[in-house]
Chain A
């Protein structure tokens, strides 16, 4: 089973890109599974189900979404394998820019859009900087020059990645992206695998439900600003 982690800032077009990729994979008669991670609510699972692919949805609720991702992804991979998926795609949003779901030896894709501003590539951490493939979306809305400037900014922070422009609406570039997915990591299980980068730490009183503000309520992993 080919497994890929797809991540990217909220509203960058991850779901649209994946839907276009699914269409291209289905044209090649592949069996596909998608695991959609989100926080509070998502209806994207219905969009995937409509395409006739297997879907699992995970909502992290009150937990850190990326910690939730890493505690569940192994069972998701086993689920995909047991259901004879030829491709399994995990979709998760990077919400704090410092977290990243990417796993060593597993093809990692980051989706980022041209409208997010030229400083965005450097603001995003390992989710973008350690990805193997960077997909840039919404290119039809901006000019050629802006697309080039944006791509060069992405290249600056992740020179080793393959950078592709994909249009999530028309599907331009999706076929080409899919041909890269054919070479994605082929695995049966995530046992023994490690994350590409540590996740941001949390372990303080606020993690455990504290709501009061003030030094006396702060325990655990706390860091103070230099003021």
Chain B
């Protein structure tokens, strides 16, 4: 199977390769090689590379071939459909004092689970256990099952099959690109079939989530905090294949948090959110309370709590309106 894939590609002409498989050109140029369209096959191209030139570039032919094979395997894996995650099960281990965590918790796509607890209580360790699909081999002794089974170890190391996409609190950009170019680059790195359509979709979604709209040619480094969060949530929902979304608090500024969560839920992700915000916490189905490194209890959001959500939102909107008045130069003598 692998042999067939290799031979077929190796016998294509460089002119065809450049048109049909542009990622091979990216691969070769990233090693500093010069690629030109010609009637020579990829095989001939590799065979005629000057060994001295390769040594200057810090590679040799054998390593280059090996890397090319690995690269093509990765590309194939990207175009494979991701295994469907129907459920994620956390089987309890123990807390920092060794006290057993007696629980077996199953999470399903579309569920929102909030994780609460003071700094240092072990929230990050729980999220890390999930990302690492722990099998009793982490300090907590927890075990993670996917679809009720011990999962394939590919989830641990593969960049193509990342189980978890993480939205951290810091959302700075360092790349010198516009929002549109940035999302396009991300889409291309994921080898999606219709990058332009995805880019349009993501920008449209992000603008719906953000309090203040932004143009596609805005440099990512000049987006406001709310706009960056909106862009990254839209990107995560539409582009990321990861079935689990970890969110480290969505700050309440410049973004419609309700819509943001609804978008992720619609994309059938399992959402785990570390938050102490009462509104976000009540939007969740359950809250895991972390204490001393262990899951101390699980609170189901009750009917009474949900009723209070409406009045909390009212309070929140009132505060937001005041914030807007400050922004537009108004005074707050009458509130």
* In the complex, B308 has a CB within 8 A of chain A: no
Taking a contact as CB atoms under 8 Å apart, the answer to whether B139 and A175 are in contact is yes
- Minimum CB–CB distance from B126 to chain A (whole Å) comes to 12
Bound-state Cα–Cα, A145 to B183, Å = 8
A159-B69, A163-B159, A175-B139 are known; give 13 further A-B pairs, CB within 8 A.
A129-B67, A130-B63, A143-B167, A144-B168, A149-B175, A153-B30, A155-B159, A156-B26, A157-B31, A162-B157, A170-B124, A172-B124, A198-B55
In A35-94, which residues have CB < 8 Å from any B CB?
Answer: none
> Beyond A114-B174, A157-B31, is A144–B232 a contact (Cβ under 8 Å)?
yes
**Contacting chain A: which of B184-192, B288-296, B320-328?**
B184-192
Taking a contact as CB atoms under 8 Å apart, the answer to whether A175 and B128 are in contact is yes
Q: Which of B73, B128, B165, B185 contacts A149 (CB 8 A)?
A: B185
Q: Which of A129, A144, A159, A179 contacts B73 (CB 8 A)?
A: A159
* In the complex, A206 has a CB within 8 A of chain B: no
- Minimum CB–CB distance from A139 to chain B (whole Å) comes to 8
Number of interface residues of B (CB under 8 A): 51
Bound-state Cα–Cα, A27 to B157, Å = 23
* In the complex, A141 has a CB within 8 A of chain B: yes
* In the complex, B236 has a CB within 8 A of chain A: yes
Taking a contact as CB atoms under 8 Å apart, the answer to whether A141 and B170 are in contact is yes
A-B contact pairs, 13 of them (CB 8 A): A118-B175, A122-B32, A129-B58, A140-B168, A141-B170, A141-B172, A143-B228, A144-B232, A145-B239, A146-B174, A152-B159, A159-B67, A160-B70
Interchain residue pairs A-B with the least CB separation, the first 6: A125-B58, A159-B70, A122-B30, A152-B189, A159-B71, A160-B70
In A111-145, which residues have CB < 8 Å from any B CB?
Answer: 114-115, 117-118, 121-122, 125-126, 129-130, 139-145
Across-interface contacts of A210 in B (CB, < 8 A) = none
Bound-state Cα–Cα, A156 to B128, Å = 26
In B98-137, which residues have CB < 8 Å from any A CB?
Answer: 124, 128, 132, 137
> Beyond A142-B173, A144-B165, A163-B159, is A176–B132 a contact (Cβ under 8 Å)?
yes
- Minimum CB–CB distance from A22 to chain B (whole Å) comes to 15
Taking a contact as CB atoms under 8 Å apart, the answer to whether A159 and B74 are in contact is yes
- Minimum CB–CB distance from A176 to chain B (whole Å) comes to 5
> Beyond A144-B240, A179-B137, is A164–B186 a contact (Cβ under 8 Å)?
no
Taking a contact as CB atoms under 8 Å apart, the answer to whether A142 and B157 are in contact is no
Residue from A118, A143, A164, A176 whose CB has the most chain B CB atoms within 10 Å = A143
Taking a contact as CB atoms under 8 Å apart, the answer to whether B173 and A143 are in contact is yes
With both beta carbons as reference points, the residue of chain A lying nearest to B72 in the complex is identified as: A159
Bound-state Cα–Cα, A142 to B212, Å = 22
Taking a contact as CB atoms under 8 Å apart, the answer to whether B128 and A172 are in contact is yes
* In the complex, B150 has a CB within 8 A of chain A: no
Across-interface contacts of A176 in B (CB, < 8 A) = 128, 132, 156
- Minimum CB–CB distance from A199 to chain B (whole Å) comes to 10
With both beta carbons as reference points, the residue of chain A lying nearest to B164 in the complex is identified as: A144
Bound-state Cα–Cα, A115 to B174, Å = 7
